[in-house]
Amino acid sequence: MRTRLPQLLTQLRLKGMANVLDRELERAEKKGAPPVEVIHRLLRQEHAYRQERSMLYRLNHAKIPWEWTLKTFPFDKQPGVSKPQILSLAGLSFIARAENVVFIGKPGTGKSGLASGLLRQALIEGHRGRFYNAQDLLDELYASLADRTTPKLIKRLCNYDILLIDELGYLTLKPEQVNAFFKLMGERYGKKSTMITTNLEYPQWYDLFQRKPLVDALLDRLKHHCITIKIDGPSLRVPSDEGDTNTAS
């Protein structure tokens, strides 16, 4: 029976229990643990295994291109960022409130790092999320128009608890892309959280999208449930000399 148990656990896809079976049975034999304790410990191991697998799946599916975390962000080198504010956001209550977060700042100031760190924290805590480069997202929305799968794509994007749209800047946009993007943002409004990083102040969005009525509606909805973080600080991409002063790259 001892040799058949691992096979049964494998057939039942209880890999977490199978991984620790021998260890737990040896422990039970040495300490004379009652059956109920052995079962409880095995079930706890299975639960932990599935939780970890689920977390790894969410992290992989989110397609975050960097390993950045909030713990590795150089707050000491970016005075334009309020560390207490970011750590407060890391509590993720904004997701429960379906609030948006918009990071505005010049290139290299840490917008993507902070947003990616918050997204990663949300994934670890059990939320479903996705990272998108803004141009890639708009291109995917445009491509979906050809085979009429846009409603299906938008529905899938709206199922994410948190969606990160990175580098919303001076992009080359077609009217159809703009319409699809506004449709997506309208569907997520008040239901799910969206994070956006951009080097454009809100008034510059009119030049980007070229559709004043739609931009008016977008900004009205976006800022209604929104936390805007403006980063007015140095570029973190600029190397420092021995005196720790920024130099041109």
Alpha helices in 15-159 (DSSP H): 15-31, 35-62, 83-89, 93-96, 111-124, 134-146, 150-158
Residue 209: both structure tokens together: 């999208």
Place of tokens 């989110």: 62
Mean pLDDT over 116-131 rounds to 97
Could you tell me which residues come within 8 angstroms of residue 47 by beta carbon, excluding any fewer than 6 positions away? Answer: 16
Distance, C-alpha 176 to centroid of its chain = 26
Could you tell me which residues come within 8 angstroms of residue 227 by beta carbon, excluding any fewer than 6 positions away? Answer: 89, 94, 99, 100, 101, 102
pLDDT digits (tens, 9 = 90+) for 175-213: 999 999 999 999 999 999 999 999 999 999 999 998 888
**What pLDDT sits at residue 46?**
87
pLDDT exceeds 50 at position 156: yes
| DSSP designation for 161 | S
Report the percentage of the chain scoring pLDDT > 70.
Answer: 95
**166 by DSSP, 3-state: which?**
strand
**What pLDDT sits at residue 248?**
28
Mean pLDDT over 48-55 rounds to 86
Of 131, 126, 142, residue with least CA distance to 166: 131
Give phi and psi for 214, each to the nearest 5: -70, -40
Beta strands across the sheet bearing 162-168: 129-133, 162-168, 193-198, 100-105, 226-231
What pTM did the predictor assign?
Answer: 0.82
pLDDT exceeds 50 at position 32: yes
Q: How high is the mean pLDDT of the chain? A: 90
Contact call for residues 103 and 224 (beta carbons, < 8 A): no
Contact call for residues 105 and 237 (beta carbons, < 8 A): no
Give the torsion sign (CA, 149, 155, 161, 164).
positive
**CA–CA separation, 36 and 136 (whole Å):** 53
Contact call for residues 103 and 197 (beta carbons, < 8 A): yes
Three-class secondary structure assignment of 178-223: HHHHHHHHHHHCCCCEEEEEECCCHHHHHHHHCCHHHHHHHHHHHH
